[in-house]
Amino acid sequence: MRFDLVTLFPEFFNSPLESGLIGKALAKKIAEVHLTNPRDFTTDKHHRVDDEPYGGGVGMVLKPEPIFAAVEALPRLPRRHLLLMTPQGEPMQQQMFQDFAQNVDQLVIICGHYEGVDERVVDHLVTREVSLGDFVLTCGEIPALALLNGVIRLLPGTVGKEESLKLESFEAGLLDYPHYTRPAEFRGWGIPEVLRSGNHGEIERWRYEQQQQRTRDRRPDLYAKWLKAQQSQN
């Protein structure tokens, strides 16, 4: 899968793309990431990528010409989505990552800055606006990195035990169950006895109950959605 990041700060991604599972996935060619700087596509001597907003107001707006030129210079794969990272976009969810990992060959990700981008980029270039959540950050590189991480880890070969992906939070509509490891007792705190019973049926049942309880307590909105889905299947 190919990722094209259109960013004014390509150096932001250097360390994250070389670290951990994502670094290994890129080294194994499971995915490839390309960084493109819109500033390289400016035509004025000052290489300006932003300007004052029409109608007045504070802040600066990213100009459309460098962004369009940067995107149009990229190779185009058959199943391509062009995303804009913006607080106004659709919040990221696990299902979004799954859809991208399974159904997309290329993600072009534009990292917003300043007061935003010229609206003509939204109207005539991008196919989807995406957000990390209902808050504002200093740059679009942060949510872009989160999306990159969330999608690449779902690609076959990135995670050693792919079965573990099916048991994570949000995969079945529920949060993950509690995890414990050695020692069995730490500072007087033990672990649930069922986990030491060796009864895999009981362990599986306990974990499923914990998922439901944890989701109900921590994310009642998610639990209500899961409960509705369960009722519709019965």
Give the range with max mean pLDDT: 56-60, 143-147, 171-175: 143-147
Q: Are residues 189 and 141 both part of a single domain? A: no
pLDDT bucket at 81, cuts 50 / 70 / 90: very high
Query: Quick one: average pLDDT of 168-173?
Result: 66
Q: What are phi and psi of 27, to 5 degrees?
A: -65, -35
Q: Are residues 124 and 181 both part of a single domain? A: no
Q: What is the CATH number of the domain that holds 72?
A: 3.40.1280.10
Last residue of a domain, one of 88, 122, 152: 152
Identify the pLDDT of residue 170.
61
Angle of helix 220-233 relative to helix 200-218, nearest 10 degrees, comes to 120
Quote the mean pLDDT of the chain: 93
Of 101, 83, 73, give the one whose Cα is nearest residue 144.
83
Domain that holds residue 25: 2-152
Identify the pLDDT of residue 101.
97
DSSP string, 16-84: GGGSHHHHHHHHTTSSEEEEE-GGGG--STT---EEPPTT--SS-EE-HHHHHHHHHTS---SSEEEEE
Half-sphere exposure of 132 (CA within 13 A, CB side): 19
3-state secondary structure 117-130: ECHHHHHHCCCEEE
pLDDT per position as a tens digit, 174-202: 998 999 999 999 999 999 999 999 999 99
Identify the pLDDT of residue 233.
84
Q: Are residues 125 and 59 both part of a single domain? A: yes
Cβ atoms of 204 and 172 closer than 8 Å: no
pLDDT bucket at 110, cuts 50 / 70 / 90: very high
Give the alpha-carbon dihedral of 138, 141, 143, 148, to 10 degrees: -170
pLDDT bucket at 171, cuts 50 / 70 / 90: low
Identify the pLDDT of residue 161.
57
Identify the pLDDT of residue 122.
95
- DSSP element (H, E) containing 203: helix 200-218
Does position 168 have pLDDT exceeding 60, yes or no? no
Q: What is the CATH number of the domain that holds 186?
A: 1.10.1270.20
Q: Are residues 145 and 216 both part of a single domain? A: no
| 161 located within any domain | no
Cβ atoms of 147 and 83 closer than 8 Å: yes
Sequence-distant (6+) residues with CB within 8 A of 24 are 158
Whole-number percent of the chain with pLDDT over 90: 88
Identify the pLDDT of residue 58.
87
3-state secondary structure 88-154: EEEECCHHHHHHHHHHCCEEEEEECCCCCECHHHHHHCCCEEEECCCCCCCCCHHHHHHHHHHHHCC
Identify the pLDDT of residue 173.
86
| 69 located within any domain | yes
pLDDT per position as a tens digit, 117-167: 999 999 999 999 999 999 999 999 999 999 999 999 999 999 865 555 555
Cβ atoms of 38 and 71 closer than 8 Å: no
Tell the residue number behind the tokens 């935003």, with chain if given.
116
Q: Domain count for the chain, please give it.
A: 2
Give the tokens for residue 203. Answer: 């362990």
Q: Looking at this protein, which amino acid is placed at residue 164?
A: S
Identify the pLDDT of residue 136.
92
| 227 located within any domain | yes
Query: Quick one: average pLDDT of 82-92?
Result: 95
